[in-house]
């Protein structure tokens, strides 16, 4: 066999993926990956890879939910240090102001509330809005909170515009409250402006010390979801023990991170979150770490860039992000034409998180059990579907999320 650049490249990838005895020096890996084609959409060309074991804790193997507690802290710390960055928690002062209240919204089916959430920290302040429709039925309602990363018109509170992206009317009929926050009000989705939102509150660039918070835009969107939750726990018409966080694509990545950082979200829903979301990073298919860090350098912690083309060196993979949701409920959704998000990699991530959910007795999701199109798979407190069609959040997806919530919340 001739050691042409391509052969050399394949060899290095296989050896690295297998985590075998041979270790390439980082500079060799960097050169090899620079020669690798940018992305792959051919299943037959996916090299072998080995995932880190979520149950292999520093102080030994994890066998019980009690042992998982410290392992979970380790994994959360690794994600903070290498992927999403460290975020502040609740600001020094947090206040809520009702901007609008309409008890006869949706032809009387729901009450609309628009809430301004104001944060103050060291003389600085930031505000953003939460829109909330609560069904006019007795008892506190379970709720879906969407991190909206699409135009605000997709979540129009006046309902003059009814986008299929956020089908409020249909979900309210099913007994669910529907809430949304706008990602752009928390961190503008722009490489030059992303610090202008909530991040400016905690900016310590003048301190001369290393930054306390290394968060990127995804973590800022997740932080906003937690501040929205701070309001929701105060609203008697919302069942705070049954709040689901939902996001699509980049919003799905943020929803997963919100669920990892904030255990008050009882259900986490990732729709086509792809790279940096549910999809396995070590699986070379669709978007890669290098591509996402190049196109969206401000989404993640600066440290994440060290893994461009070096996924095998990451101390985590995304199945461990899914595992951080355990023992809460988790639903992952893909679309078959959305190859950039790697539907199979999103499914395999759910499968690889099985040992952790298994600590609570959930049946494993097998690697070969990817369900047929438009046929949700539910196993214990986890669900997965792959919908026919393109990259989008659709009424079909929402109906499946509600079916799953009905089941795990025994509605």
CA 174 to CA 181: how far, in whole Å? 21
Angstrom distance (rounded) from CA 318 to CA 37 = 22
- Distance (Å, whole) CA 186 – CA 149: 11
Tell me how far, at minimum, the Cβ of 334 lies from ligand GTR, in Å. 13
By three-state DSSP, how is residue 321 classified? helix
Closer to ligand GTR by Cβ: residue 228 or 292: 292
Q: Which of 110, 341 has the CB closer to ligand GTR?
A: 341
Q: Which residue, 217 or 329, has its beta carbon nearer to ligand GTR?
A: 217
Neighbours of 357 (CB within 10 A): 25
CA 125 from centroid of its chain's CA atoms: 26
How would you class 108 by CB atoms within 10 Å of its CB: exposed for 0-12, middle for 13-18, buried for 19 or more? exposed
Q: Shortest CA distance to 134 belongs to which of 102, 164, 158? A: 102
Q: Is 126 a catalytic residue?
A: no
Residue 379 Cβ, how far from ligand GTR at the closest point, in Å? 26
Judge whether 249 counts as a catalytic residue: yes
8 A C-beta contact, residue 140 and residue 110? no
Nearest approach, Cβ of 224 to ligand GTR (angstroms)? 16
Which residue, 71 or 248, has its beta carbon nearer to ligand GTR?
248
Closest contact distance (angstroms) between CB of 249 and ligand GTR is 3
Given a contact cutoff of 8 angstroms between Cβ atoms, the answer to whether 150 and 166 are in contact is: no
Question: Residue of minimal CB distance from ligand GTR?
Answer: 249
H helices then E strands: how many in the chain?
A: 12, 12
CB of 274 to ligand GTR, least distance (A): 5
Query: Among residues 12, 33, 249, 354, which one is catalytic?
Result: 249
Binding site for ligand GTR (CB under 6 A): 149, 249-250, 274-275, 287, 292, 295
Specify the residue, 102 or 308, whose C-beta has the smaller distance to ligand GTR.
308
Using a 10 angstrom Cβ sphere, with 0-12 exposed, 13-18 middle and 19 or more buried, the burial of residue 59 is: exposed
List, by residue number, the catalytic residues: 249, 391
């Amino acid at each position: 066999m001739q050691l042409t650049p391509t052969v050399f490249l394949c060899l290095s990838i296989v050896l690295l993926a297998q985590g075998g005895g041979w270790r390439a020096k980082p500079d060799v890996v960097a050169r090899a990956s620079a020669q690798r084609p940018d992305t792959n959409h051919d299943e037959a060309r996916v090299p072998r890879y080995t995932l880190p074991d979520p149950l292999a804790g520093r102080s030994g193997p994890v066998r019980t939910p009690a042992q998982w507690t410290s392992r979970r802290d380790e994994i959360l710390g690794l994600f903070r240090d290498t992927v999403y960055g460290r975020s502040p928690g609740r600001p020094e002062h947090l206040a809520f102001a009702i901007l609008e209240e309409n008890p006869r919204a949706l032809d009387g089916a729901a009450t609309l509330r628009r809430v301004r959430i104001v944060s103050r920290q060291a003389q600085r302040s930031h505000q953003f809005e939460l829109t909330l429709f609560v069904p006019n039925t007795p008892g506190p309602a379970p709720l879906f909170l969407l991190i909206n990363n699409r135009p605000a018109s997709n979540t129009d509170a006046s309902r003059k515009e009814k986008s299929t992206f956020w089908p409020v009317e249909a979900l309210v009929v099913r007994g669910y409250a529907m809430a949304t926050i706008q990602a752009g009000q928390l961190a503008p989705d722009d490489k030059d402006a992303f610090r202008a939102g909530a991040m400016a509150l905690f900016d310590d660039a003048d301190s001369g010390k290393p930054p306390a918070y290394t968060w990127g835009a995804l973590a800022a969107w997740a932080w906003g979801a937690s501040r929205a939750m701070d309001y929701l726990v105060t609203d008697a018409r919302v069942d705070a023990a049954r709040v689901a966080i939902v996001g699509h694509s980049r919003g799905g990545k943020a929803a997963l991170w919100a669920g990892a950082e904030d255990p008050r979200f009882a259900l986490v829903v990732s729709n086509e979150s792809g790279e940096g979301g549910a999809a396995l990073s070590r699986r070379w298919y669709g978007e890669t770490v290098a591509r996402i860090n190049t196109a969206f350098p401000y989404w993640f912690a600066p440290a994440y860039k060290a893994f461009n083309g070096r996924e095998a060196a990451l101390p985590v993979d995304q199945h461990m992000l899914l595992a951080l949701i355990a023992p809460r409920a988790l639903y992952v959704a893909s679309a078959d034409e959305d190859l950039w998000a790697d539907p199979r990699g999103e499914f395999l991530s759910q499968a690889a998180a099985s040992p952790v959910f298994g600590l609570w007795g959930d049946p494993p999701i097998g690697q070969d059990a990817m369900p047929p199109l438009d046929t949700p798979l539910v196993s214990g407190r986890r669900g997965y579907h792959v919908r026919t069609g393109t990259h989008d959040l659709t009424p079909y997806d929402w109906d499946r999320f509600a079916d799953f919530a009905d089941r795990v919340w025994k509605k």
